[in-house]
Structure 1
Amino acid sequence: MDIVKANEQDSHSIIDMISKCITSMEDQGIYQWNEDYPSFELIKKDIKDGCGYVIKDSIDASLTRQ
């Protein structure tokens, strides 16, 4: 796995992951994030400003095909 700067194409995956985290946190009574924060606009701004990062799996997908 590698930690790399996020790009525009990563933004929807990031928001999807955040949405899943929000649901899990709320199930545990944690209300740190909600549907307004962090926003899609904030994620896009972080990416544009060069301060958004993602973890990329470097495993070749062809190795896992059956």
Structure 2
Amino acid sequence: MTGETIWMTSREAADHCGVHIRTVQSWARRGHLPVKGLSPHGRPLYDFCDVARAEMVTRAKAKRVLVPAA
């Protein structure tokens, strides 16, 4: 690992986590997911590790787990 930060848009984060884009925006609004920058279009960018952490924390609080499709 080179230590490079992987940036994700809200759409990419939602696709990665298998949730709706509004869920990712909610995580950011509620403080679970810090915005680390802005895209050239002015849209929020998130650190991949922060996205994974927000997903884990919110799923744990909701007592939901991600089950792979059969």
TM-score clears 0.5: no
The answer to which structure has the higher helix fraction is: 1
**TM-score normalized with structure 2 length:** 0.28
The structure having more radius of gyration, on CA atoms, is 1
